[in-house]
Amino acid sequence: MPKSLSFTWDRETKTKAQDFLANLKTFGFIFTFLITKNGLGTLKPIAAKLQKKDQDVFQAYSMIDDTIKAVARVKSNIEEECLEMFEDASRLADKIGATVSVPKITGRQEQRNNTLSVNPESHYRVHVVIPL
């Protein structure tokens, strides 16, 4: 490796990098990332259209209606949509060696929802997908 590309990492930087990598490999992060990617994917066509110089206002309104309908379809079919996204996240987690798990439930929780779930899929549906 050329001398200009070599790096010397201090202990604090190494520790932070390891912590960051460990967080990226959690099932909660993977699932939330996929939910966000899928959710923003419905907005991509209209966002790209509205950024063009040659905007057609009528077509943009039509695309907004299509986007609203797509979101409504997902909301009306949330159980199946969530199951599909959960399965996608599970496959990705398997590939990187992450385990499907839910955050620990405590006796007193103030910063996030703390209700019991039957299984991990229902936990992520109730606590991540539906609020989002």
Tell me the pLDDT tens digit for each residue of 62-79: 888 888 888 888 777 777
Judge whether residue 113 has pLDDT over 60.
Answer: no
Q: What pLDDT, on a 0 to 100 scale, did the predictor assign at position 30?
A: 86
Residue 26 CA to chain centroid, in angstroms?
12
Q: What pLDDT, on a 0 to 100 scale, did the predictor assign at position 6?
A: 64
* DSSP symbol at 131: T
Sole residue written with tokens 């409504």: 72
Mean pLDDT of 22-48: 83
Delimit the domains of the chain by residue range.
Answer: 21-100+114-129
How many angstroms separate the CA atoms of 94 and 88, rounded? Answer: 10
* Confidence band for 110, pLDDT divided at 50, 70 and 90: low
**8 A C-beta contact, residue 120 and residue 109:** no
